[in-house]
Structure 1
Amino acid sequence: MKAEELRAIQAPLKDRYREQPEAALVTLKAEGRIEKGITCAVQTGKALVEAGLHPATGGNGLSACSGNMLLEALAACAGVTLGAVATAIGVEIRKGTVRAEGDLDFRGTLGVSKDTPVGLQRVRLLFDLETDATEELLTTLLRLTERYCVVYQTLRRSPEISISHHVTHSGNKN
């Protein structure tokens, strides 16, 4: 895709969002179905993914790890964002990879150490790019990728999160 094509696609959207800010607010959704064997089946845009325990917490390694899925979402979002920004500012990326890595101490998750946080403690986002872009353009590319990557910014800013529940009783009192 060329910069002009991207601008042509996005211009009417930007105009609409300027005139009607409420139109820009979209609720994204994901739903999982709790399955047997300590798994949860999540429908992605293309496939059903069964998430389960990581081997470091007793899983068999056959199910996807939710922590890895989070890093996959970060890598995917950063890659798409970098591609869009590169297109918009005229940087040709001949070839590229994006890798997200995260350090997690499973003592927190397993309750072995109450002083160990649960969750990823450090996350690294690494790009390997084949391009002739100048160092100045690469700096701009990475700065704008960081600024506009939804998953990256969500992780950096910690959104407000709430939990609720609904219980349906089946009549069984076991």
Structure 2
Amino acid sequence: MDATSLRAAQAPLKQSYKQDPTAAQVTLTSTSTLDAGLSCSLGVGQAIRKAGLHKMAGGVDPSQLCSGDMLLESLVACTGVTLRAVATAMSIPLSSGTVTAEGDLDFRGTLGVDKTVPVGFTAIRLKFDLDCGGEEVTPKDKVEKLIEMTERYCVVLQTLKNGVPRESSLV
């Protein structure tokens, strides 16, 4: 795709987002399913996927993952593996479960339609659906502690939460 084609693909989107700001908003979702051992499965569906523009930014290939999809995939993968490790360390019988991340994006920021709208996610929510044997096996406060400790030790979540120094260079 050349610059002219990209501008042509994005022009109607930008116009739509100017006229109706809610049309620029989307919630992306990613889920990991906890596996046996210290691993989880992601729902990306293929071993190798291409990255590309989201359709709301002018992308034309719906099979491609956008950067927002990949960030959420990374978050649920790290959270799922960390959850398994913490449950093991806490002797919590975690027989199954899922971790879902939802992230809200407003493409007016991404496409420069409205300079006051941030580029990137405006909110990310993690949802845990866990089978720890029920309240009689694992009390609710212990499951809450499991989630708290998982959030504390999840590398991706802590990086998003706390940020890191960034540097760019041309090599």
Same fold flag (TM > 0.5): yes
State the secondary structure of the residue aligned to 1:103: strand
Between the aligned partners of 2:48 and 2:81, the Cα distance in structure 1 is 22
Between the aligned partners of 1:131 and 1:84, the Cα distance in structure 2 is 14
State the AA in 1 paired with 2:59. Answer: G
State the AA in 1 paired with 2:158. Answer: Q
Q: Does 1:149 align with 2:171?
A: no
Name the counterpart of 2:140: 135
State the AA in 1 paired with 2:88. Answer: T
Between the aligned partners of 1:74 and 1:93, the Cα distance in structure 2 is 20
Name the counterpart of 1:50: 50
Name the counterpart of 1:164: 169
1:50, CA displacement in angstroms?
Answer: 1.6
State the AA in 2 paired with 1:88. Answer: A
Between the aligned partners of 2:95 and 2:140, the Cα distance in structure 1 is 16
State the secondary structure of the residue aligned to 1:74: helix
Gaps of 5+ in 1: 1-36, 39-45, 167-174
State the AA in 1 paired with 2:52. Answer: G
State the secondary structure of the residue aligned to 1:51: coil
The list of structure 1 runs, each at least 4 consecutive aligned residues, that deviate by more than 2 angstroms after superposition, is 46-49
Gaps of 5+ in 2: 7-45
Q: Does 1:95 align with 2:96?
A: yes
1:117, CA displacement in angstroms?
Answer: 0.3
Between the aligned partners of 1:137 and 1:99, the Cα distance in structure 2 is 20
Between the aligned partners of 1:161 and 1:47, the Cα distance in structure 2 is 30
Name the counterpart of 2:68: 67
1:63, CA displacement in angstroms?
Answer: 1.4
Deviations 1:76-110 (Å, cap 9, x if unpaired)?
00000000000000001111000011000000000
The aligned length equals: 123
| TM-score computed with the length of structure 1 as normaliser | 0.67
1:49, CA displacement in angstroms?
Answer: 3.3
State the AA in 2 paired with 1:141. Answer: L
Question: Which protein has the larger Cα radius of gyration, Structure 1 or Structure 2?
Answer: 1
1:57, CA displacement in angstroms?
Answer: 0.6
State the AA in 1 paired with 2:140. Answer: E
State the secondary structure of the residue aligned to 2:50: strand
Q: Does 1:122 align with 2:123?
A: yes
